[in-house]
Structures are given as structure tokens and as C-alpha cells.
Structure 1
Amino acid sequence: MQGRVLACTACHGKEGRATPQGYFPRIAGKPAGYLYNQLLNFRDGRRSYPQMSYLLEHLTDDYLQEIAQHFASLQLPYAQPPATQVLPQELERGRLLVQHGDAGRDIPACVSCHGASLMGAAPWLPGLLGLSRDYVGSQLGAWQTGQRHAQSPDCMAAVASKLSLQDVRSVAAWLAAQPVPAGAVPARQLPEAMPLRCGGVPGQGAAQ
């Protein structure tokens, strides 16, 4: 498998542990179901990134599942986050949205799905820590502009559509500034009551 995934690690870093400074996200240790869904999304056109689509266009579901399981099994240390130059008030705005959401705008807190530790939940929900500010911001922006989609119902598209540009900047900056505790891993089960139905979670949307 290490030989098969050389094309993956060329961008995502050795063993898939991209550093917070890089645009390409860390994939090591992410829940297998989440990784599998993203591989399907790239292959089937819901996510737009030509290099990924080209690599995956002829791969079978079973092959993609093997790749996802491989990277999910790699529990490796995270790099420390880079120093931030973002103003304290902007970071605080991000923290409030991540931890509490905004009930007045019907924006759920990130922790309500991605967990109090923000490390996600196996096997379907990704962690949000250990990612660069540019990557987080670009993905929220891609949902807002329709460049990124997930299986229907697309819960993240619904959330992103309610965020302002400043919200996106603040959330991305706060998340990127948080260190990942040693030994932190995704929760072993999904939240009991998610605020939105998400098609990437079996039983909540279209068949996988």
C-alpha cells in the first residue's frame, strides 16, 4: 500500500501528515469513512480539483476504501501550529462561532458535530484541528461558491452559506491556531443529536 499511495503523499506529505503551513490537508488519522467519502466526491465530481479527479477517475470503490483505511490507521503526532498574527478580537469571534455558533443566524457550533475536542468522530466526521488557515478558509469558501459539494443533504454547504467573509476568516484563523493534544484521536461514536442531517453519514441522506 505504501507504494500505491506515493501519489497521495507527494502532496499530502510523508505518511499523509501535512504540516499546518501547507495548503494540502493532513489525511493521516482522519476517520476512514470521511476519507472514503472525499475520494468518492473527487472521483464523482462533487469536489473540483483536477489533479485529484485525474488520479481517481478509474479507481473502484473497493480500492478507494483500501486507501481510506490505510491513512485512517496512521496515528501520528501533529506539528505545532504556526504563530498567528491575527488580532485577538478576530480570534475571539472565531472561537465563539466554533464553540457556540450563532443562534440568531441559525448557525450551529462546530463542536456540535465535530466534537468538543474538534477531532471528529469515527468513521464519518473529520477533525478540524491540525489544518492550515488557508485550507480551512478555502474549503468554506468553496462550499459558499458551489465549488465543493457533498452527498445530499449537504450540511456543510448549508452552514457555509450563512457565514460572512469575516466569519470564515475568523473561524479559519482560530482553528489553525489551536494545538492538537498529544494522543488526540477522533471520538469512537457519532454525536447523539446532530443539528443538521448530513448525506455523508449513512442513514441521513442518499445511499453511500
Structure 2
Amino acid sequence: MQTGTGWCGHCSRIRQSKQPPRECAGCGQVRRHAGLGLCTACWQKHPDRPFITAANLRDRLADPPPWLVDFAGHLAARHCASRACTMISSLGRLLEDGHPNHPQALLDRARRPGRSMGSLARALEDYLTQRALALPTDHADRLAAGRRRRRIEAAPLPLRPQVQAFSDSLLRARGRALRAGTLPRADITIDAALAIVRDFARFLTDHCGKHD
């Protein structure tokens, strides 16, 4: 409590007055400025904004990754300035969470659970794998395994073990092709084959009375 005012120290502090509106260097309109002599609207889309955000993050970190500003350029070339800054801020939270910050661990923590790994994880994966800083995630394999599982579970229960055995056979054949260096089946080919077998199993059960 401050003597003479009856207020606490925070309330007794002299407030900094806001700067009056002035002409924006970008659009020329008289508005309050957000940075670099620009109004908020012009500042939000300024192309240097992701680099400034990355530089501020680098200066704030005790041990910033050497590729941080270059990654900002990677984002700026593929996203609008606001979107790039949002992803850099999300990356900053990961870099400051107290966990290991080498590229592979960072990529694993950036990945979201579910069918979409998230835009930050996708951008990190593209950037880090192109520069041989990290290995690709198994996200595509997880999605493919989920699609196969849904097709198998959609088959009638009496014939589901046979559909499962067919799926396992396709995966074993692909493994042999990979080891032999021949052309393996792609995930989309396996998905199409399982969908056909699923529909055939439904037809046998519903229209032909076949249950084995």
C-alpha cells in the first residue's frame, strides 16, 4: 500500500500514454501504429514479420537452434505472414518446455494425435528431412494402418478373419517386394483391394447366405 494514495504499487504506477494516431507508412491512413511505422492491418501482412518473430525468439532462448531463422524463411515462402508467425510462436513454446530440443525430438513433440499431424509438424518434417536433420515420422504408415483396420472391421463378422488374413498376405507380399528391390504395392492399392474384398464379403453374407 502506497502512503498518501491508499493504492497498491501497481495501481499507483504512472501509465504510459498511448501514442496518437499518425499516417501509416504502408496504406497512408491515419491509424495507431503496431510496428515499423505501420498500422495493425499492414503490420499483420508485412513480409518481414516472420523473420522478426523468429529473431525475437532466438534472442529470448538460452540455446536457440541454428536453423531457426532459416526455418522462418521456409514458412514465409509457403504461408501468409500471420500464419507463419503463429507457427513460429507454437515452435517457441516447444523450445521452451524443458524437453530435449534436438530436431528429431522436436518433430515428435510437434506432432498432434489423430489423423492430422498438424501444420507445424508437417512444416517441420518437410524442412528437417530435406536438410537431413531428422527422419520422417511414421504418420503416413499410421494413417494407412487405420484405413486397413476400418475396412477389415466393416466386413461381416463371420468373414472378418478371412479379410484380415488377406490383408496380412498383402502386407507380407509388399515386405518381400521391398527386400527384393522390386515394385511393392502402394497403400492406395492395398486399400482398394481390401475395399473390394470387404464388399464381396458383404455380398456373400447378405445375398448368398455364405458365412464361411
The structure in which a higher percent of residues are strand is: 2
Higher relative contact order (CA 8 A, sep 6+): 1
Larger helix share, 1 or 2: 2
Q: Does the TM-score normalized on the shorter chain lie above 0.5?
A: no
Range of TM-score over shorter length: under 0.3
Whose radius of gyration is greater, 1 or 2? Answer: 2
